[in-house]
Structure 1
Amino acid sequence: MTAMVTLRPTPEKALAAYAAQVAANRAYIHSIEGPPRPGQDYWAARAAAFRPGRMPVPELGALLALAEPGDTWLDIGAGGGRFAVPLAEHVARVIAIEPSPSMREQLAGAAQEAGRTNIEIVDMAWPPDPGAAAPEGDVALAANVLYAIEDVGGFIAAMERHARRTCAVVVFDRAPSTPVPAIWHELWGSEFRELPALRELLAVLLAMGRRVRVEPLPPQPQEPRPLDDVAAEYAWMYHVRPGTEGYEEKLARFRELVARHCGAGEGLARPPVVRRYSSVISWPAERNS
């Protein structure tokens, strides 16, 4: 007998499937490199890459279409400010919520460099602890944050509680940490367990009955760059990190694999990523839904 495929899951089933995918990825990564050390700031080594101007922000136009000049925006998981700083040029206030100390440091520096005095930086994990005071805004934004959130339903519900008008999410078709399967398998000898991304998040939101608007952005071209630069920049995605056992050998092996699978000739290579495009998902912040 052929098993039935549920194309319209209940909210409970959609949320459970999302959580299971996040948990499977976490367990798999822990099996490779062990659990994170207590108090470790995961983003410390890469926080500078998330400052404004370090990478394109093609989603900005779609986000500004949701904005009004007098708005207060919550940027949840604001990182180094690549969204918060440009948004602050168009709205009255941005409250940047970020739990990583290294990211907050980069964000504060970026806001100062841009002369943006209307950005407030808040040290807070999301969702807020029950009973804890948390800021509110007209729009709650979570840009490239939800991939590894096991309780995505609780995260979304908190966004809706603290937004007066709109919730918005920026999400890729594949999680940014998703590697090229052939490179990963040759490097680690096993199949990568992907995090949820656009498809899975849409399934959750639709199952929860949210009236979503989805605006996909055109794919960003992956221009060839010097092979050594590409290998150095993307080694983190393949869990080849300084300070780990056999780092130099692993990095050399990774470089060889990038040259073979992503090489563009003349010492150049394309980034070893599988994500193709991002989308802006928005919906009304109906607090009683």
Structure 2
Amino acid sequence: MSDVLRPEAAGALEAWRRRVRANREQAERLREGTPPRDFYAAVASDFRAAPRRTDEPALELLRTLVQPGETWLDIGAGGGRYALPLALLAKSVLAVEPSEGMRNVLQAGMTEHGIANIEIVPARWPMQGAPAADVALLAHIGYDIEEIGPFLDAAEASARRLCVAVLVTPSPPHPAERFWPPIHGEVRVSLPSLTEFLTLLLARGRLFELRLFTREPLLHADRDGPLRWLYQQLFVAPDTDKGRRLAALARDAITSREGRWALSWSPVPVVGVVSWRPRD
């Protein structure tokens, strides 16, 4: 029998797979309407981030990991939260991102800030003919990947020097989970997060370095931003009974500070930057 305090790799991978599958199947069962072609299109603009910002401790640590002349591979680069600032230090960044909406935000950031050493790769990871790089970065990705083993194997195969993951506990959708019982009548199945990822790495025989931080919550540029995010996370449409009930519940929770809007102003409690050497 597997020891929960010392799981084997196969058991840890299967537990991760079951959790993600249950989360996905719950969403598919309760979803209103047809799934969008691009899940992130409606909220991609909320992922803009200034590349020269100095108010994110996890980013400051990432900056110290960049060595001169290196190429970084940003897997699931999103709108460029890390690709843009790291490109200011690295020789180049390969930004792999399947979402067209996110790629558009990244491209706009490159243009706005005059950053030209990022190559945007429109693909889903793992990908055929994956590029090699000195460092493979997995920032806030993997939470919803059922086959996390091959996903990590491919990242390690592409990295010459180092693999780095930036993850949170609990997982990013957590602020929306409190709305599931009143809207859907059931508790949301939570995705794996940093805690489970560390267990998985140890089960796979990887020794790692870990630094823990806090981070500001997800902020939005307009009052409707948090509600758009909730529609996405609860898989409901604005013009349905559930959508209208969600809007009524959320309105009281949405507040503003200095021109930004949020569901909560409490910092993300645990952000981990995990680094390990890929296997030869």
TM bin (shorter chain)? 0.7 to 0.9
Would you say 1:138 and 2:147 are equivalent positions?
Answer: no
For 2:104 and 2:235, the matched residues in 1 are separated by: 25
Q: Deviation at 1:254?
A: 2.2
Q: Deviation at 1:229?
A: 5.7
Residue number in structure 1 paired with 2:122: 123
Q: Deviation at 1:173?
A: 0.9
Residue number in structure 2 paired with 1:184: 180
Closer, same or farther in 2 for the Cα pair 1:223/1:110, shift >3 Å? closer
SS at match of 2:164: strand
Q: 2:48 aligns with which of 51, 56, 69?
A: 51
For 2:253 and 2:32, the matched residues in 1 are separated by: 25
> Contact conserved, 1:88 with 1:94, CA < 8 A, in 2?
yes
SS at match of 2:269: coil
Would you say 1:148 and 2:132 are equivalent positions?
Answer: no
For residues 14-33 of structure 1, what are the alpha-carbon distances to aligned partners after superposition, in whole Å with 9 as ceiling and x for unaligned?
00000100000001111111
Q: CA RMSD in A?
A: 3.2
Where structure 2 has 5 or more consecutive residues not aligned to the other structure, the ranges are: none
For 1:167 and 1:179, the matched residues in 2 are separated by: 28
For 1:195 and 1:7, the matched residues in 2 are separated by: 20
> Contact conserved, 1:240 with 1:251, CA < 8 A, in 2?
no
Q: 2:227 aligns with which of 199, 219, 232?
A: 232
**1:250 counterpart letter in structure 2:** R
For 1:92 and 1:139, the matched residues in 2 are separated by: 12
Would you say 1:68 and 2:67 are equivalent positions?
Answer: yes
> Contact conserved, 1:52 with 1:81, CA < 8 A, in 2?
yes
Q: Deviation at 1:220?
A: 3.3
For 2:174 and 2:92, the matched residues in 1 are separated by: 34
**1:73 counterpart letter in structure 2:** W
Q: 2:8 aligns with which of 2, 7, 10?
A: 10
**1:144 counterpart letter in structure 2:** H
SS at match of 1:117: coil
**1:184 counterpart letter in structure 2:** W
Q: Deviation at 1:113?
A: 1.0
For residues 176-225 of structure 1, what are the alpha-carbon distances to aligned partners after superposition, in whole Å with 9 as ceiling and x for unaligned?
111365443223211110000011111110000001111111x2356999
Would you say 1:199 and 2:187 are equivalent positions?
Answer: no
- TM-score, length basis structure 2: 0.86
Where structure 1 has 5 or more consecutive residues not aligned to the other structure, the ranges are: none
For 2:47 and 2:210, the matched residues in 1 are separated by: 24
Residue number in structure 2 paired with 1:33: 31
For 2:166 and 2:110, the matched residues in 1 are separated by: 21
Q: 1:249 aligns with which of 231, 244, 253?
A: 244
> Contact conserved, 1:95 with 1:120, CA < 8 A, in 2?
yes
Moved more, 182-191 or 139-148: 182-191
For residues 139-166 of structure 1, what are the alpha-carbon distances to aligned partners after superposition, in whole Å with 9 as ceiling and x for unaligned?
0001000100111111110011000000
SS at match of 2:143: helix
**2:4 counterpart letter in structure 1:** T
- TM-score, length basis structure 1: 0.83
Residue number in structure 1 paired with 2:101: 102
Structure 1 vs Structure 2: percent identity of aligned residues? 34
For 1:107 and 1:183, the matched residues in 2 are separated by: 30
Q: Deviation at 1:135?
A: 1.1
Greater CA radius of gyration, 1 or 2? Answer: 1
> Contact conserved, 2:238 with 2:244, CA < 8 A, in 1?
no
> Contact conserved, 2:231 with 2:243, CA < 8 A, in 1?
no
Closer, same or farther in 2 for the Cα pair 1:15/1:113, shift >3 Å? same
SS at match of 1:17: helix
